[in-house]
Structure 1
Amino acid sequence: MKSKRGYHFILFFSCFLLFTGNAYVCKATALGSVDSYETIHGTVQGTVRATWVWDTTQIQSNPQLVLKFATTNKINTIYLQMNRDVKLPYYTDFIRMAREKNIAVDVMDGRPAWGLTESRSQIADFLDWVEAYQNQVEPNEKFAGIHLDIEPHVHPEWKTNQASVITQWQGNVQYIVDRAARMKIPVAADLPFWLDGYKIPGSTMNVSSWMIRKFDSITIMAYRDTAAAIYKVAKDELEEASLLGKTVSIAVETKQSKEGDFITFYEEGTAYMESQLQLVEEMASSHSSFNGFSVHEYSSWETLKK
Structure 2
Amino acid sequence: MNSDATQPPAQPTGIQGLWVWQEQWVADEAEQDRLIEFCRQYGFNMLMVQIHLDGGGGPSPALKYPDQLAELIRKAAEHGIAVEALEGGPEQALKENHDHTLAILDAIIAFDSTLPEDARLTGVHYDIEPYVLPAWQDLDDRRQIMLGLAQFFAKARERIDEHAPHLTLAADIPFWYDNLGEDGEVEFAGQTKNIHQHIQDICDYIGIMSYRRDATGPNSVAEHVETEMAYAEQIGKWVLPALETVELTDTPQITFFGESPESFWQTHNAVREHFADRPGFGGMLTHSYRSLRELLEGDQD
For 1:279-298, list aligned pairs within 5 A: 279-298=270-289
1:158 pairs with 136, 139, 155, which one?
Answer: 136
Contact in 1 for aligned 2:237/2:280 (Cα 8 Å)? yes
Residue in 2 that maps onto 1:138: 116
For 1:58-77, list aligned pairs within 5 A: 58-61=25-28, 62-77=31-46
Q: Measure how far apart 1:53 and its partner are.
A: 0.6
For 1:231-250, list aligned pairs within 5 A: 231-250=222-241
Residue 47 of structure 2 aligns to which amino acid in structure 1?
I
Residue in 2 that maps onto 1:190: 172
Does structure 1 residue 221 correspond to structure 2 residue 191? no
Give the total of aligned pairs: 263
Residue in 1 that maps onto 2:155: 175
Residue in 1 that maps onto 2:53: 84
Distance 1:102 1:280 in 2: 23
Q: Measure how far apart 1:255 and its partner are.
A: 0.4
Distance 2:231 2:154 in 1: 20
Distance 1:125 1:269 in 2: 42
Residue in 2 that maps onto 1:212: 200
Q: Measure how far apart 1:224 and its partner are.
A: 0.5
Q: Measure how far apart 1:45 and its partner are.
A: 8.6
Q: Measure how far apart 1:88 and its partner are.
A: 1.7
Residue in 2 that maps onto 1:125: 103
Identity %: 25
SS in 2 for 1:140: coil
Residue in 2 that maps onto 1:46: 13
Structure 2 residues not aligned, in runs of 5+: 1-10, 55-63
SS in 1 for 2:257: coil
1:239 to 1:110, Cα distance in 2 relative to 1, 3 A: same
Distance 2:20 2:12 in 1: 24
Distance 1:87 1:204 in 2: 42
Question: How far does the alpha carbon of each residue in 1:151-170 deviate from its partner, in whole angstroms, 9 at most, with x for none?
Answer: 11111111132111111111
Q: Measure how far apart 1:230 and its partner are.
A: 0.8
TM-score (norm 2): 0.83
Residue in 1 that maps onto 2:125: 147
Question: How far does the alpha carbon of each residue in 1:43-63 deviate from its partner, in whole angstroms, 9 at most, with x for none?
Answer: x99321010111123222121
Contact in 1 for aligned 2:186/2:194 (Cα 8 Å)? no
Contact in 2 for aligned 1:188/1:215 (Cα 8 Å)? yes
Distance 1:46 1:122 in 2: 37
SS in 1 for 2:213: coil
Q: Measure how far apart 1:258 and its partner are.
A: 3.0
Residue 176 of structure 2 aligns to which amino acid in structure 1?
W
Contact in 2 for aligned 1:45/1:290 (Cα 8 Å)? no
